[in-house]
Structure 1
């Protein structure tokens, strides 16, 4: 059994959900220690069954026993220890998804994890749901949400504009593109995601750089090339950003320690 696996939602559901991924140590007899996860600009809903998973963010250490958890935006690497006989299923939500539920104000909620009750979930599921059943539930719920919300809201438009420009756009340019006040966009984005627009762009650019490094291999691709391709000022700027998130240099980065996305 693979410890890490990815499962993909329907095309319509992809508007709100990037994917579902699993960390499965359910038949394992030993603790899996010191695995790492990088920020990627998404929120996560985690379903823990069995014993527990221990997660260290830049703010706190969380012991996540059996139950449901909401994981905020992360800005630094996260360390994970998975106890024996434990499975974690994670629903990865795009940065704009929660903005379609306006009762949530996430202005100061980053690098944090909150245990929630199952009744707080917008869809019905249980701790032991098979991945096939969960996928069907998620697809049905978010396809209905898509049908109800035919127009993109402000947060989705901001993220779409950033993607359209390959993460090379300023807040002022986003404001001009959307014919909106920079200040209003900043306030709305921070409330919906916990991040500034600039920080969100930095995270996306960083992850794209890491994926490029891992896929190409540092032996084949010089750091200067990675930095220039992703439009960092220079190699030293890229290395500084890299160290801010991973606490190591690109040269010392060991991808085997990380759960890195298979979906590009």
Structure 2
């Protein structure tokens, strides 16, 4: 049984849901400890079954017993310990997904986790549901959500521009493209995601560089090439930003210590 696995919603639901990923130590007799997760610009809804997991963010340590948890945007690496007979199923939501629920203000909610009641969820889901059942219920809910929201709102538009930009892009360029008030969109973006637009850009930039390092032979591709390809000023700038998040250098980075996305 694989400790880490990924599952994917329907193409239509992918507008709001990135994927489901599972950390499965349900058959294990030993603690899985000191595994790491990198920020990726998404929110996560975690369903913990069995004993518990410990999660250390840059702010505090959380003991997550059986239940449902909402995980904010993370800006630094997160350390995870998974106790025996424990399985965690995680629904990964795009940065703009929460913006379709304007009643939530996430301005000051980053690097944090809160326990929530199942009744607070907008879609039907149970603690012991199999992944296949969760996928079915998510697709049913979010496919209807897409139909009810055919047009992108301002937060989704900002994220789309950042995602599709081939060159380094500034906040001023984004608001000029969309003809928005810079102050207003900054406030709206932070309320919906907990991040500034600039920080969101930096997180995507960093994660893209890590994924590229893993998918290529770093001995064949220099750090300078990776840095410039991912829009850092130079190699030194890349290394400094890399250390800010991982507390290690690209050369000493060990992918086996991390739960990293699978290449689809």
Range into which the TM-score falls when normalised by the shorter chain: over 0.9
User: Which 4+ residue blocks in structure 1 deviate beyond 6 angstroms?
Assistant: none
The answer for the alignment partner of 2:43 in structure 1 is 43
The answer for the alignment partner of 2:56 in structure 1 is 56
Deviations 1:208-257 (A, max 9, x none): 00011111122121111101111211100000100000011111100000
- Output the aligned Cα RMSD: 0.8
1:167–1:205 CA contact under 8 A, matched in 2: no
**Alignment partners' CA distance in 2, 1:167 and 1:156:** 19
**Alignment partners' CA distance in 1, 2:217 and 2:56:** 28
The answer for the alignment partner of 2:27 in structure 1 is 27
**Alignment partners' CA distance in 1, 2:261 and 2:164:** 21
**Alignment partners' CA distance in 2, 1:217 and 1:26:** 34
The answer for the alignment partner of 1:211 in structure 2 is 211
Query: What secondary structure is seen at the aligned counterpart in 1 of 2:49?
Result: strand
**Alignment partners' CA distance in 1, 2:179 and 2:106:** 25
2:167–2:231 CA contact under 8 A, matched in 1: no
**Alignment partners' CA distance in 2, 1:19 and 1:178:** 28
Deviations 1:106-150 (A, max 9, x none): 001000000000000011111110111110000000001001011
The answer for the alignment partner of 2:18 in structure 1 is 18
**Alignment partners' CA distance in 1, 2:81 and 2:53:** 6
Structure 2 gaps of 5+ residues are none
Structure 1 gaps of 5+ residues are none
**Alignment partners' CA distance in 1, 2:160 and 2:183:** 19
Describe the shift of the 1:25–1:107 C-alpha distance in structure 2 as closer, same or farther (beyond 3 A).
same
The answer for the alignment partner of 2:141 in structure 1 is 141
Q: So what's the TM-score if we normalise by structure 2?
A: 0.99
- The alignment covers a number of residue pairs equal to 264
Query: What secondary structure is seen at the aligned counterpart in 2 of 1:54?
Result: strand
TM-fit CA distance, 1:263 = 4.2
Is the aligned partner of 1:151 residue 2:151? Answer: yes
